[in-house]
Amino acid sequence: MTAKGKSKLAEITPRTAARIAAVQALYQMDMAGTDVNDVIAEFIEQRFEGDNRDEVLATADRVFFADILRAVIRRQREIDPMVDEQLATGWSLVRVDSILRAILRGGVAELLDRDDVPARVAINEYVNVAHVFFSEDEPRVVNGVLDKIARRVRGHEFVRRVTPS
């Protein structure tokens, strides 16, 4: 975690901590090819609790964390092409930074699977997660990609309601 990310510790809710942990777990799964159930067990036993406990991650909503990971695995064949369509010409999800890829996959999985989380909240949360890991353009990329996908898969949440005068 970056110094910038640590400076916002007081603002990290259990769900935000779960999203940060999910991004780290997705990165680990992507890089090492680790099984989702093994990663969930490792995080619960070592990062959320135990000797290697991470201060930030210890507050994570464990069920929400596991739900995000399982949604990414279950829907990855749907998620990756959706992200590819939104990236700049000549870019694909496999070409972007591994952490950025994990953030985008987690965000899209949440947009697809978690109707209990408003789309704008999910987008904002993953932009904030991107700020934990990056200080350059990546948070803007996350915002742009997730906003476009959210408008496609949850367009009803972006329709302006006209109030009668």
Residue 150 near residue 122 (C-beta atoms within 8 A)? yes
Helices of type H across 33-159: 36-42, 62-86, 98-113, 119-133, 138-153
Q: What is the DSSP string of 44-58?
A: IIIISSSTT--TTGG
Q: At residue 42, what is the residue type?
A: E
With 80 as the cut, is the pLDDT of residue 90 above it? no
pLDDT, one tens digit per residue, over 18-59 is 999 999 999 999 999 989 999 999 999 888 987 777 888 889
pLDDT at 6 over 50: no
Q: Are the CB atoms for 23 and 1 separated by under 8 Å? A: no
C-alpha angle 80-83-88 in degrees, rounded to nearest 5: 130
pLDDT by residue (tens digit) across 101-155?
A: 999 999 999 999 999 999 999 999 999 999 999 988 999 999 999 999 999 999 9
**DSSP secondary structure code for residue 87 in this structure:** S
**What is the C-alpha separation between 10 and 94, in angstroms, rounded?**
34
What six digits make up the tokens of 76?
Answer: 């990855």
Please, what sign has the CA dihedral across residues 28, 30, 32, 36? positive
